[in-house]
Amino acid sequence: MNLIDGKQIAAKVKGEVATEVRALAARGVQTGLTVVRVGDDPASAIYVRGKRKDCEEVGITSVEHHLPATTTQAELLALIARLNADPAVHGILVQLPLPKHVDERAVLDAISPAKDADGFHPFNVGALSIGIAGVPRPCTPAGVMRMLDEAKVDPKGKRALVVGRSNIVGKPMAMMLLERHATVTLAHSRTADLAGEVGRADILVAAIGKAELVKGAWVKEGAVVIDVGMNRLADGKLVGDVEFAAAAARASAITPVPGGVGPMTRAMLLVNTVELAKRTVR
């Protein structure tokens, strides 16, 4: 069984990004990511701190706009408009969730698709589904694809099951596996026989958000298991959506939690940012 080490692959990706950032700097372009955070959600504060540290590691300038929870939608849209017009800003990321009085979709839609570091803008989502290359892609599924490549897993012709259909993970994950010629099934909370679907999957991607919902005994012998889930148990332990030990006993390759998809998601944000910066000098 091959343990797909997200930390190690993320370190390799970061090394590549750092090289690209230096090459751009030599051409007079300092890659910049701007993060917008509204209010005081504690998890958001931790995520944003992590993103800043990642940027520092690879030489990307990161700027955070931390606005009070009372910020109006109009004020937020005005800030996005300013950032869209600022040539020093290559990537813009609005940390979710936003306060309830703000229309999240309207804010994400206001980000220029050419600065959309998360790849959530409808133009970029559409571009992924019709196969337009060179646009930013959602970081988590993009990170999973890179992990499959590093583990020498070619999705072509394989049965791939994605459990979870969110806009940030499940749906774009299915599109990326389809693009690489897998036969894709997308399961969700109304799927009739999840165990049966899992049992047929050569590649299983679990993005559910429920601790160990996918039983190891369901996993097909020799399958590749990618666990996106991050669930904190009452005792503080972090576990995935798949029963790790039992699944690992059947899988040919599997990602751990933590140390699997999480570090890759963070690394892919840096990739998106430097790619957006490169596009400004082409």
Specify whether 95 is catalytic: yes
* Catalytic residue (one of 51, 158, 171, 278): 51
Amino acid 282 reads: R
CB 243, min distance to ligand NDP, A: 14
CB 260, min distance to ligand NDP, A: 7
* Catalytic residue (one of 14, 54, 95, 115): 95
Q: How far apart are CA 35 and CA 58, in angstroms?
A: 16
Would the annotation count 166 as a binding residue? Answer: yes
Would the annotation count 62 as a binding residue? Answer: no
Label residues 112-129 b or e (16+ Cβ within 10 Å = b).
bbbbbbbbbbeebbebbe
* Catalytic residue (one of 14, 54, 115, 118): 118
Closest residue by Cα to residue 84 from 132, 36, 49, 134: 36
Cβ atoms of residues 33 and 60 within 8 Å = yes
- Which chain residues interact with ligand NDP by CB under 6 A? 140, 163-166, 168-170, 187-191, 194, 207-210, 213, 228-231, 261-262, 265
Cβ atoms of residues 17 and 270 within 8 Å = yes
Residue number with CB closer to ligand NDP (8 or 189)? 189
Would the annotation count 165 as a binding residue? Answer: yes
Residue number with CB closer to ligand NDP (76 or 261)? 261
Backbone angles phi, psi at 79, to 5 degrees: -65, -45
Residue number with CB closer to ligand NDP (102 or 207)? 207
Specify whether 118 is catalytic: yes
Angle, alpha carbons 216-217-221 (nearest 5°):
90
Tokens of 228: 């996106």
Is the previous residue joined to 122 through a cis bond, with omega within 30 degrees of 0? no
CB 206, min distance to ligand NDP, A: 8
Residue number with CB closer to ligand NDP (153 or 228)? 228
List the beta bridge partners of residue 36.
65, 94
Residue stretches of the annotated binding site for NADP(+): 164-166
Annotated catalytic residues are 51, 95, 118
